[in-house]
Structure 1
Amino acid sequence: MFNILLVDDEVKITEVIKAYLDKEGYNTFIAHDGQKALELFTQEEFDLVILDRMLPDISGEEICKRIRETSLVHIIMLTAKTEDDDKIDGFNLGCDDYVCKPFNVKELVLRIKAVFRKIEKEEIIKVGDEIEVNTLSHEVKIRGTEVSLTNTEYKILLLLVNNQKKIFTREELLELVTEDHYEKFDRIIDVHIKNLRQKIEEDTKKPKIIQTVYGVGYKFGL
Protein backbone atom coordinates (compact mmCIF):
# COMPACT_ATOMS: atom_id res chain seq x y z
CA MET A 1 0.00 0.00 0.00
CA PHE A 2 1.33 3.43 -0.95
CA ASN A 3 1.49 6.20 1.67
CA ILE A 4 0.44 9.69 0.60
CA LEU A 5 0.89 12.94 2.53
CA LEU A 6 -1.81 15.45 1.58
CA VAL A 7 -1.09 19.03 2.67
CA ASP A 8 -3.80 21.68 2.20
CA ASP A 9 -5.45 24.15 4.59
CA GLU A 10 -8.86 23.81 2.91
CA VAL A 11 -10.59 21.07 4.91
CA LYS A 12 -13.30 20.33 2.36
CA ILE A 13 -10.73 19.83 -0.41
CA THR A 14 -8.70 17.41 1.70
CA GLU A 15 -11.83 15.46 2.64
CA VAL A 16 -12.86 15.04 -1.01
CA ILE A 17 -9.37 14.07 -2.18
CA LYS A 18 -8.93 11.63 0.70
CA ALA A 19 -12.27 9.97 -0.10
CA TYR A 20 -11.13 9.32 -3.67
CA LEU A 21 -7.70 8.08 -2.56
CA ASP A 22 -9.23 5.79 0.09
CA LYS A 23 -11.39 4.28 -2.62
CA GLU A 24 -8.25 3.52 -4.63
CA GLY A 25 -6.71 1.76 -1.65
CA TYR A 26 -4.07 4.35 -0.77
CA ASN A 27 -3.12 5.25 2.80
CA THR A 28 -3.58 9.02 3.10
CA PHE A 29 -2.27 11.28 5.88
CA ILE A 30 -3.61 14.85 6.09
CA ALA A 31 -1.93 18.04 7.30
CA HIS A 32 -3.71 21.42 7.23
CA ASP A 33 -0.58 23.47 7.86
CA GLY A 34 3.10 23.33 7.07
CA GLN A 35 4.33 22.54 10.58
CA LYS A 36 2.10 19.47 10.83
CA ALA A 37 3.20 18.39 7.36
CA LEU A 38 6.88 18.48 8.32
CA GLU A 39 6.17 16.60 11.55
CA LEU A 40 4.31 13.85 9.71
CA PHE A 41 7.03 13.63 7.08
CA THR A 42 9.64 12.87 9.74
CA GLN A 43 7.40 10.28 11.42
CA GLU A 44 6.24 8.23 8.42
CA GLU A 45 7.64 6.87 5.13
CA PHE A 46 5.80 8.50 2.21
CA ASP A 47 5.69 7.53 -1.45
CA LEU A 48 4.04 10.80 -2.59
CA VAL A 49 3.43 14.30 -1.24
CA ILE A 50 0.52 16.41 -2.53
CA LEU A 51 1.41 19.91 -1.42
CA ASP A 52 -0.64 23.12 -1.52
CA ARG A 53 1.50 26.11 -2.42
CA MET A 54 -0.37 28.59 -0.17
CA LEU A 55 -0.46 27.56 3.50
CA PRO A 56 -1.16 29.68 6.61
CA ASP A 57 2.21 29.24 8.32
CA ILE A 58 4.93 27.85 6.05
CA SER A 59 4.79 28.23 2.28
CA GLY A 60 4.57 25.18 0.03
CA GLU A 61 7.82 26.27 -1.59
CA GLU A 62 9.62 26.23 1.76
CA ILE A 63 8.19 22.80 2.66
CA CYS A 64 9.24 21.47 -0.74
CA LYS A 65 12.74 22.84 -0.19
CA ARG A 66 13.04 21.21 3.25
CA ILE A 67 11.75 17.86 2.02
CA ARG A 68 14.28 17.91 -0.82
CA GLU A 69 17.11 18.29 1.68
CA THR A 70 16.56 14.70 2.81
CA SER A 71 14.27 12.96 0.32
CA LEU A 72 13.60 12.35 -3.38
CA VAL A 73 9.93 11.54 -2.75
CA HIS A 74 7.63 12.55 -5.64
CA ILE A 75 5.92 15.92 -4.97
CA ILE A 76 2.79 17.23 -6.72
CA MET A 77 2.19 20.92 -6.03
CA LEU A 78 -1.34 22.32 -5.86
CA THR A 79 -1.50 26.01 -6.79
CA ALA A 80 -3.86 28.79 -7.74
CA LYS A 81 -0.97 30.52 -9.49
CA THR A 82 -0.84 29.72 -13.19
CA GLU A 83 1.98 31.94 -14.38
CA ASP A 84 4.85 30.10 -16.08
CA ASP A 85 7.44 31.79 -13.84
CA ASP A 86 5.63 30.50 -10.73
CA LYS A 87 5.71 26.95 -12.07
CA ILE A 88 9.38 27.25 -13.01
CA ASP A 89 10.18 28.41 -9.48
CA GLY A 90 8.38 25.36 -8.09
CA PHE A 91 10.22 22.96 -10.36
CA ASN A 92 13.53 24.59 -9.43
CA LEU A 93 12.75 23.94 -5.77
CA GLY A 94 12.15 20.27 -6.51
CA CYS A 95 8.47 19.60 -7.15
CA ASP A 96 7.77 17.02 -9.87
CA ASP A 97 4.35 18.10 -11.12
CA TYR A 98 1.82 20.95 -10.91
CA VAL A 99 -1.97 20.84 -10.63
CA CYS A 100 -3.71 24.20 -10.90
CA LYS A 101 -6.76 25.06 -8.79
CA PRO A 102 -9.60 24.58 -9.36
CA PHE A 103 -8.97 21.03 -10.57
CA ASN A 104 -10.86 17.85 -11.29
CA VAL A 105 -10.15 15.36 -8.51
CA LYS A 106 -10.45 12.47 -10.97
CA GLU A 107 -7.63 14.00 -13.03
CA LEU A 108 -5.51 14.32 -9.89
CA VAL A 109 -6.11 10.65 -9.10
CA LEU A 110 -5.02 9.69 -12.62
CA ARG A 111 -1.79 11.65 -12.17
CA ILE A 112 -1.21 9.90 -8.84
CA LYS A 113 -1.72 6.50 -10.45
CA ALA A 114 0.80 7.45 -13.13
CA VAL A 115 3.34 8.31 -10.42
CA PHE A 116 2.90 4.94 -8.73
CA ARG A 117 3.16 3.05 -12.02
CA LYS A 118 6.51 4.75 -12.50
CA ILE A 119 7.60 3.92 -8.96
CA GLU A 120 6.70 0.26 -9.45
CA LYS A 121 8.68 0.11 -12.68
CA GLU A 122 11.69 1.76 -11.07
CA GLU A 123 11.73 -0.53 -8.08
CA ILE A 124 14.97 -0.31 -6.17
CA ILE A 125 15.87 -3.23 -3.94
CA LYS A 126 18.19 -2.45 -1.05
CA VAL A 127 19.94 -4.74 1.41
CA GLY A 128 21.33 -2.54 4.18
CA ASP A 129 24.22 -0.42 2.99
CA GLU A 130 25.70 -3.29 1.00
CA ILE A 131 23.52 -3.77 -2.07
CA GLU A 132 21.23 -1.60 -4.22
CA VAL A 133 19.59 -3.03 -7.36
CA ASN A 134 17.49 -1.00 -9.81
CA THR A 135 15.29 -3.60 -11.49
CA LEU A 136 14.40 -1.25 -14.37
CA SER A 137 17.86 -0.09 -15.40
CA HIS A 138 19.67 -3.19 -14.04
CA GLU A 139 22.12 -0.87 -12.30
CA VAL A 140 23.80 -2.44 -9.27
CA LYS A 141 25.61 -0.60 -6.49
CA ILE A 142 27.76 -2.41 -3.95
CA ARG A 143 28.56 -0.39 -0.84
CA GLY A 144 27.58 2.74 -2.74
CA THR A 145 29.75 2.07 -5.80
CA GLU A 146 28.22 1.06 -9.13
CA VAL A 147 29.54 -2.23 -10.51
CA SER A 148 29.27 -3.63 -14.02
CA LEU A 149 27.77 -7.13 -14.15
CA THR A 150 27.13 -9.47 -17.03
CA ASN A 151 23.52 -10.44 -17.67
CA THR A 152 24.02 -13.82 -16.00
CA GLU A 153 25.79 -12.31 -12.99
CA TYR A 154 22.94 -9.82 -12.58
CA LYS A 155 20.35 -12.61 -12.73
CA ILE A 156 22.19 -14.65 -10.10
CA LEU A 157 22.49 -11.70 -7.72
CA LEU A 158 18.86 -10.65 -8.17
CA LEU A 159 17.64 -14.21 -7.65
CA LEU A 160 19.58 -14.56 -4.41
CA VAL A 161 18.52 -11.11 -3.15
CA ASN A 162 14.85 -11.92 -3.80
CA ASN A 163 15.13 -15.32 -2.10
CA GLN A 164 17.36 -14.61 0.87
CA LYS A 165 16.43 -17.69 2.90
CA LYS A 166 16.64 -20.23 0.09
CA ILE A 167 19.58 -22.44 -0.78
CA PHE A 168 19.89 -22.96 -4.54
CA THR A 169 21.54 -26.01 -6.06
CA ARG A 170 23.79 -25.52 -9.05
CA GLU A 171 21.15 -27.20 -11.23
CA GLU A 172 18.46 -24.77 -10.05
CA LEU A 173 20.64 -21.74 -10.70
CA LEU A 174 21.55 -23.13 -14.09
CA GLU A 175 17.93 -23.45 -15.18
CA LEU A 176 16.85 -20.12 -13.71
CA VAL A 177 19.59 -17.81 -14.97
CA THR A 178 21.09 -19.30 -18.14
CA GLU A 179 19.49 -19.55 -21.55
CA ASP A 180 22.24 -20.65 -23.94
CA HIS A 181 22.41 -24.40 -24.46
CA TYR A 182 26.21 -24.46 -24.39
CA GLU A 183 26.15 -23.24 -20.77
CA LYS A 184 23.94 -26.09 -19.64
CA PHE A 185 26.45 -27.88 -17.44
CA ASP A 186 26.30 -27.23 -13.72
CA ARG A 187 29.93 -26.27 -13.10
CA ILE A 188 29.57 -23.19 -15.31
CA ILE A 189 27.60 -21.72 -12.39
CA ASP A 190 30.75 -21.93 -10.27
CA VAL A 191 32.54 -19.79 -12.85
CA HIS A 192 29.79 -17.16 -12.82
CA ILE A 193 29.74 -17.14 -9.01
CA LYS A 194 33.53 -16.74 -8.90
CA ASN A 195 33.41 -13.80 -11.32
CA LEU A 196 30.51 -12.22 -9.45
CA ARG A 197 32.28 -12.52 -6.12
CA GLN A 198 35.32 -10.74 -7.52
CA LYS A 199 33.08 -7.76 -8.25
CA ILE A 200 30.96 -7.62 -5.08
CA GLU A 201 32.86 -9.23 -2.19
CA GLU A 202 35.34 -7.36 -0.02
CA ASP A 203 37.26 -10.60 0.52
CA THR A 204 36.68 -13.33 -2.07
CA LYS A 205 38.32 -15.90 0.23
CA LYS A 206 35.71 -15.15 2.92
CA PRO A 207 32.59 -14.20 0.93
CA LYS A 208 29.73 -12.67 2.91
CA ILE A 209 27.19 -11.84 0.20
CA ILE A 210 27.16 -15.15 -1.70
CA GLN A 211 27.96 -18.09 0.54
CA THR A 212 28.71 -21.67 -0.46
CA VAL A 213 26.64 -24.39 1.18
CA TYR A 214 28.95 -27.36 0.76
CA GLY A 215 27.37 -30.36 -0.89
CA VAL A 216 24.27 -28.34 -1.85
CA GLY A 217 24.90 -25.06 -3.67
CA TYR A 218 24.75 -21.35 -2.83
CA LYS A 219 22.75 -18.94 -0.70
CA PHE A 220 22.51 -15.23 0.05
CA GLY A 221 24.65 -14.49 3.10
CA LEU A 222 23.73 -11.03 4.39
Structure 2
Amino acid sequence: MNNILLIEHSLSDKSDLGQQLSEQGYSVHRVNNAFDALVYMETTQLEAILLDYSVPKMDSFWLLVTRKPSTAIIVLADSRCELERINALELGADDYLAKPINIRELQLRLNVLHRRLQAPMNDNFNHDISFDDTSYTIRFAEKSLVLTQTEYSLFKYLFDRQGEVITKQELQRRVLHKELGRFDRNLDMHISNTRRKLVKRNLPRELINTVRGQGYSFNF
Protein backbone atom coordinates (compact mmCIF):
# COMPACT_ATOMS: atom_id res chain seq x y z
CA MET A 1 0.00 0.00 0.00
CA ASN A 2 1.27 3.50 -0.85
CA ASN A 3 1.99 5.57 2.24
CA ILE A 4 1.16 9.27 2.25
CA LEU A 5 2.13 11.68 5.02
CA LEU A 6 -0.41 14.51 5.19
CA ILE A 7 0.79 17.53 7.18
CA GLU A 8 -2.05 19.87 8.03
CA HIS A 9 -2.42 22.95 10.17
CA SER A 10 -4.95 21.34 12.49
CA LEU A 11 -6.00 17.79 13.34
CA SER A 12 -9.15 18.84 15.17
CA ASP A 13 -11.32 18.57 12.06
CA LYS A 14 -11.93 15.61 9.79
CA SER A 15 -9.69 15.72 6.71
CA ASP A 16 -11.69 15.51 3.49
CA LEU A 17 -8.46 15.12 1.52
CA GLY A 18 -7.25 12.34 3.78
CA GLN A 19 -10.57 10.54 3.40
CA GLN A 20 -10.49 10.87 -0.38
CA LEU A 21 -6.95 9.50 -0.56
CA SER A 22 -7.89 6.58 1.69
CA GLU A 23 -10.79 5.76 -0.62
CA GLN A 24 -8.29 5.61 -3.51
CA GLY A 25 -6.21 2.99 -1.71
CA TYR A 26 -3.58 5.15 -0.03
CA SER A 27 -2.54 4.72 3.58
CA VAL A 28 -2.72 8.25 5.00
CA HIS A 29 -1.05 9.39 8.21
CA ARG A 30 -1.90 12.90 9.47
CA VAL A 31 0.30 15.16 11.60
CA ASN A 32 0.30 18.90 12.30
CA ASN A 33 3.94 19.69 13.15
CA ALA A 34 7.49 19.05 11.96
CA PHE A 35 8.57 16.88 14.91
CA ASP A 36 5.84 14.28 14.43
CA ALA A 37 6.42 14.40 10.68
CA LEU A 38 10.17 13.75 11.03
CA VAL A 39 9.57 10.82 13.38
CA TYR A 40 7.15 9.25 10.92
CA MET A 41 9.50 9.91 7.99
CA GLU A 42 12.29 8.01 9.78
CA THR A 43 10.19 4.91 10.40
CA THR A 44 8.04 4.65 7.28
CA GLN A 45 8.74 4.28 3.57
CA LEU A 46 6.72 7.09 2.01
CA GLU A 47 5.57 7.66 -1.52
CA ALA A 48 4.91 11.32 -0.90
CA ILE A 49 4.48 14.08 1.64
CA LEU A 50 1.59 16.50 1.23
CA LEU A 51 2.43 19.69 3.07
CA ASP A 52 -0.15 22.36 3.80
CA TYR A 53 1.86 25.56 3.58
CA SER A 54 -0.21 27.11 6.37
CA VAL A 55 1.88 24.99 8.76
CA PRO A 56 4.42 27.36 10.41
CA LYS A 57 7.10 28.27 7.89
CA MET A 58 10.09 27.07 9.93
CA ASP A 59 8.45 23.65 10.15
CA SER A 60 7.91 23.74 6.40
CA PHE A 61 11.53 24.66 5.76
CA TRP A 62 13.00 21.82 7.82
CA LEU A 63 10.68 19.27 6.28
CA LEU A 64 11.67 20.33 2.79
CA VAL A 65 15.42 20.16 3.43
CA THR A 66 15.47 16.92 5.47
CA ARG A 67 13.20 14.69 3.39
CA LYS A 68 14.67 11.65 1.66
CA PRO A 69 15.51 12.09 -2.05
CA SER A 70 13.15 9.26 -2.98
CA THR A 71 10.16 10.96 -1.34
CA ALA A 72 8.23 13.59 -3.26
CA ILE A 73 6.83 16.67 -1.55
CA ILE A 74 3.75 18.39 -2.90
CA VAL A 75 2.86 21.67 -1.25
CA LEU A 76 -0.81 22.55 -0.89
CA ALA A 77 -0.79 26.31 -1.35
CA ASP A 78 -3.28 29.15 -1.29
CA SER A 79 -4.35 29.71 -4.89
CA ARG A 80 -4.52 33.47 -4.29
CA CYS A 81 -0.91 33.80 -3.14
CA GLU A 82 1.68 33.56 -5.91
CA LEU A 83 4.53 34.35 -3.50
CA GLU A 84 3.57 31.38 -1.34
CA ARG A 85 3.84 29.01 -4.28
CA ILE A 86 7.19 30.45 -5.40
CA ASN A 87 8.60 30.16 -1.89
CA ALA A 88 7.55 26.52 -1.71
CA LEU A 89 9.42 25.67 -4.91
CA GLU A 90 12.44 27.67 -3.78
CA LEU A 91 12.63 25.66 -0.57
CA GLY A 92 12.71 22.40 -2.52
CA ALA A 93 9.13 21.27 -3.10
CA ASP A 94 8.69 19.00 -6.13
CA ASP A 95 5.29 20.39 -7.03
CA TYR A 96 2.39 22.40 -5.66
CA LEU A 97 -1.36 22.34 -5.93
CA ALA A 98 -3.70 25.23 -5.34
CA LYS A 99 -6.57 24.79 -2.91
CA PRO A 100 -9.22 23.46 -3.11
CA ILE A 101 -7.52 20.21 -4.11
CA ASN A 102 -8.86 18.14 -6.99
CA ILE A 103 -8.23 14.51 -6.00
CA ARG A 104 -7.88 13.32 -9.61
CA GLU A 105 -5.25 15.96 -10.39
CA LEU A 106 -3.41 15.08 -7.19
CA GLN A 107 -3.32 11.40 -8.15
CA LEU A 108 -1.92 12.22 -11.59
CA ARG A 109 0.81 14.41 -10.11
CA LEU A 110 1.71 11.75 -7.56
CA ASN A 111 2.10 9.23 -10.38
CA VAL A 112 4.30 11.57 -12.42
CA LEU A 113 6.55 12.38 -9.47
CA HIS A 114 6.84 8.71 -8.56
CA ARG A 115 8.08 7.86 -12.06
CA ARG A 116 10.61 10.71 -12.02
CA LEU A 117 12.04 9.85 -8.62
CA GLN A 118 12.30 6.14 -9.40
CA ALA A 119 13.98 6.62 -12.78
CA PRO A 120 17.72 5.83 -12.82
CA MET A 121 20.05 8.83 -12.91
CA ASN A 122 22.98 9.02 -15.29
CA ASP A 123 25.98 9.63 -13.01
CA ASN A 124 28.27 10.54 -15.91
CA PHE A 125 26.33 13.50 -17.27
CA ASN A 126 28.48 16.05 -15.43
CA HIS A 127 31.57 15.00 -17.38
CA ASP A 128 30.05 16.00 -20.70
CA ILE A 129 28.16 19.29 -20.63
CA SER A 130 27.92 21.81 -23.46
CA PHE A 131 26.02 24.99 -24.23
CA ASP A 132 24.27 26.09 -27.41
CA ASP A 133 23.91 29.87 -27.26
CA THR A 134 21.70 29.93 -30.36
CA SER A 135 18.94 27.59 -29.20
CA TYR A 136 19.45 28.15 -25.44
CA THR A 137 20.03 24.43 -25.04
CA ILE A 138 22.27 22.72 -22.49
CA ARG A 139 23.42 19.19 -23.30
CA PHE A 140 24.32 16.64 -20.63
CA ALA A 141 25.76 13.60 -22.43
CA GLU A 142 22.64 12.06 -24.02
CA LYS A 143 20.18 14.51 -22.46
CA SER A 144 19.35 18.05 -23.46
CA LEU A 145 17.66 20.87 -21.59
CA VAL A 146 15.93 23.67 -23.50
CA LEU A 147 15.49 26.88 -21.54
CA THR A 148 14.26 30.39 -22.12
CA GLN A 149 16.92 32.99 -22.87
CA THR A 150 16.89 34.32 -19.30
CA GLU A 151 16.93 30.85 -17.71
CA TYR A 152 19.80 29.84 -19.99
CA SER A 153 21.81 32.96 -19.15
CA LEU A 154 21.33 32.42 -15.42
CA PHE A 155 22.30 28.75 -15.66
CA LYS A 156 25.43 29.52 -17.68
CA TYR A 157 26.47 32.38 -15.39
CA LEU A 158 26.24 30.09 -12.36
CA PHE A 159 27.99 27.26 -14.22
CA ASP A 160 30.91 29.51 -15.15
CA ARG A 161 31.30 30.38 -11.47
CA GLN A 162 30.61 26.89 -10.12
CA GLY A 163 31.46 26.40 -6.49
CA GLU A 164 31.01 30.10 -5.72
CA VAL A 165 28.01 31.61 -3.98
CA ILE A 166 26.58 34.29 -6.27
CA THR A 167 24.36 36.85 -4.58
CA LYS A 168 20.91 37.62 -5.89
CA GLN A 169 21.97 41.23 -6.34
CA GLU A 170 24.80 40.22 -8.68
CA LEU A 171 22.62 37.87 -10.72
CA GLN A 172 19.94 40.52 -10.98
CA ARG A 173 22.41 43.13 -12.24
CA ARG A 174 24.61 40.97 -14.48
CA VAL A 175 21.96 38.71 -16.02
CA LEU A 176 18.59 40.42 -15.65
CA HIS A 177 20.20 43.86 -16.08
CA LYS A 178 18.31 45.64 -13.33
CA GLU A 179 18.57 46.26 -9.62
CA LEU A 180 17.00 43.84 -7.17
CA GLY A 181 13.90 45.36 -5.58
CA ARG A 182 12.79 44.57 -2.06
CA PHE A 183 9.77 42.56 -3.19
CA ASP A 184 11.14 41.47 -6.57
CA ARG A 185 10.69 37.69 -7.04
CA ASN A 186 11.45 37.61 -10.76
CA LEU A 187 14.89 36.03 -10.28
CA ASP A 188 13.53 33.37 -7.93
CA MET A 189 10.80 32.50 -10.42
CA HIS A 190 13.36 31.94 -13.20
CA ILE A 191 15.41 29.68 -10.92
CA SER A 192 12.31 27.74 -9.87
CA ASN A 193 11.25 27.22 -13.48
CA THR A 194 14.75 26.00 -14.39
CA ARG A 195 14.74 23.50 -11.53
CA ARG A 196 11.38 22.13 -12.61
CA LYS A 197 12.70 21.65 -16.14
CA LEU A 198 15.75 19.83 -14.75
CA VAL A 199 13.49 17.42 -12.86
CA LYS A 200 11.36 16.80 -15.95
CA ARG A 201 14.51 15.75 -17.84
CA ASN A 202 15.54 13.48 -14.96
CA LEU A 203 18.41 15.78 -14.03
CA PRO A 204 19.14 16.83 -10.43
CA ARG A 205 17.46 20.07 -9.41
CA GLU A 206 20.29 20.46 -6.87
CA LEU A 207 22.63 21.58 -9.66
CA ILE A 208 21.38 25.04 -8.71
CA ASN A 209 21.72 25.24 -4.96
CA THR A 210 20.01 27.82 -2.77
CA VAL A 211 22.35 29.28 -0.16
CA ARG A 212 19.87 30.61 2.35
CA GLY A 213 20.24 34.32 3.03
CA GLN A 214 23.00 34.71 0.41
CA GLY A 215 22.11 33.62 -3.10
CA TYR A 216 22.71 30.67 -5.42
CA SER A 217 25.57 28.38 -6.39
CA PHE A 218 26.15 25.75 -9.07
CA ASN A 219 27.32 22.39 -7.75
CA PHE A 220 27.97 19.08 -9.50
TM-score (norm 2): 0.47
Greater Rg by CA: 1
- Tell me which of the two structures has the higher relative contact order, counting C-alpha pairs closer than 8 angstroms and 6 or more residues apart: 2
TM-score (norm 1): 0.47
